[in-house]
Amino acid sequence: MGQPVREYLLTLCVTAAVTYLLTGPVRKFAIAAGAMPEIRARDVHREPTPRLGGIAMFGGLCAGLLVASHLTNLKSVFENSNEPRALLSGAALIWILGVLDDKWGVDALVKLGGQMIAAGVMVLQGLTILWIPIPGVGTVSLTPMQGTLLTVALVVITINAVNFVDGLDGLASGMVCIAAAAFFMYAYRMWFGYGIEAAAPATLFSVVLMGMCLGFLPHNMHPARIFMGDSGSMLIGLVMAAGAVSVTGQVDPDLLNVKAGGLREATHAMVPVYIPLLLPLTVIAVPVADLILAIVRRTWKGQSPFAADRGHLHHRLLEIGHSHSRAVLIMYFWSALIAFGAVAYSANNASMWIVLGIVLLSAVGLVLLLLPRFTPRTPRWAEWMVPPRYRRAVPATAPAAPEDEGAVEPEEEREPVPAGINGATAIGDRSRFVEHRRAESHH
């Protein structure tokens, strides 16, 4: 198992490095191309910021897949499955659509149609849901039409969930990176823990997705120097959906019964993916919740579900007093809690300690939400280990007295400043007094 881990780590590092190195030139290109839209009412940034960060992320995706295809263990994914090519085809289409939207703007219905076409291209190449394991019923095989519709719906929902949450610096890339890390742990366990080779593509997709987000995140943290734009948010949403579709629709539950040692053990192992539609909801539950709330809110107001507003969860965190960085960290916290909690529960759902830990961390998250102005302070002996904003304020010292306290400025050298003129006092603002005298002489 050591060799596969090293290959995954190499793929992760190459993807992150290529994305990071490409982002700087892409930023200069975006500025030269004029991909810097004006500030909108719903935006939280104050300066026009270039978009098109998805160009660098797509370059990282291609580099990661290229390197993986030449590694000893990972190249079997490309030899035994057509899913990597299906992912690359769909990613290219959604990326081109996003680039056009970042530069010139694309109608919401056109984007929705493009997302469905990209999902359909992946389905035609074999990346589709074949069956659904339903509790109490068993494995339900899907017809080609049912599998296509369910796959397209899952891809479109995930893409728009990630796109909707991309409202603060570093928010979407960080949350998707957390989700990808949790997803990798689950898929890796399915492949090497139970020996199910059908989980190999999903494991590779999650590693590449982590690299894309990690490479872009340093440029996108607050204050962001570049935004990923729709070319990036829709791209990482599609990669996440592809991994979910792969591990859900391709892993045979009956095979898992044999590998896990029985139906009960297999049921426990399949907890996060027992209902395929819930798999992406567990790893990106916060973005999907934001998406559902946005659709309900806008429909209730008689607006289009795709009409932008300032009612997203991250906007509400800012409104109740959280800083930009704190709002992002809180969203990170909840995403990690839900994603890793689901994975931990699937590994050992009989342990009460996991449930108690999730409940305790949820309580901590609620406290953080209710204390927007609380700033933790560290003991003075540990201040050198933390950023300056967490250090105690140093009391201001009194200004030093002049060497000769009795010395005063000669009376003839000091211009008198009478009190009551434009709010100036005898020791007040001299400039105001001079302007007042000039006005009087002019009259």
Q: How confident is the model at residue 396 (pLDDT cuts 50, 70, 90)?
A: low
**Between 190 and 143, where is the model more confident?**
143
Among 12-16, 26-30, 402-406, 436-440, which stretch is predicted with the lowest mean pLDDT? Answer: 402-406
Give backbone dihedrals phi and psi of 131, rounded to 5 degrees, phi first: -155, 165
Q: Per-residue pLDDT for 17 more than 60?
A: yes
Among 149-158, 374-383, 406-415, which stretch is predicted with the lowest mean pLDDT? Answer: 406-415
CB 80 within 8 A of CB 197: yes
Q: What is the pLDDT of residues 269-280, one digit of tens each?
A: 444 444 334 545
CB 221 within 8 A of CB 169: yes
Residues in the chain: 443
Q: Per-residue pLDDT for 422 more than 80?
A: no
% of residues, the chain, pLDDT over 70: 65
Give backbone dihedrals phi and psi of 139, rounded to 5 degrees, phi first: -85, 125
Among 65-69, 296-300, 391-395, which stretch is predicted with the lowest mean pLDDT? Answer: 391-395
Among 238-252, 262-276, 283-297, 339-353, which stretch is predicted with the lowest mean pLDDT? Answer: 262-276
- The domain ranges of the chain are 2-38+46-306
**Mean of pLDDT values over 290-304:** 76
What pLDDT score does 112 carry? Answer: 94
What pLDDT score does 14 carry? Answer: 97
**Between 180 and 263, where is the model more confident?**
180
Q: Residue 230 annotated as binding?
A: yes
Among 82-96, 166-180, 196-210, which stretch is predicted with the lowest mean pLDDT? Answer: 166-180
Chain mean pLDDT for the chain:
77
Q: What is the pLDDT of residues 61-75, one digit of tens each?
A: 999 999 999 998 899
**One-character DSSP codes across 230-298:** HHHHHHHHHHHHHHHHHHHHHS-HHHHHHHHTSHHHHHHHTGGGSSGGGHHHHHTHHHHHHHHHHHHHH
What pLDDT score does 4 carry? Answer: 83
Collapsing DSSP to helix, strand or coil, 344 comes out as: helix
* Residue 160 tokens, joined: 């728009």
**Between 409 and 23, where is the model more confident?**
23
What pLDDT score does 340 carry? Answer: 84
What pLDDT score does 412 carry? Answer: 40
DSSP assignment letter at 140:
E
Among 170-184, 216-230, 311-325, 342-356, which stretch is predicted with the lowest mean pLDDT? Answer: 311-325
Q: Residue 404 annotated as binding?
A: no
What pLDDT score does 390 carry? Answer: 53
Could you give the CA distance from residue 332 to residue 321 in angstroms, rounded to a whole number? 18
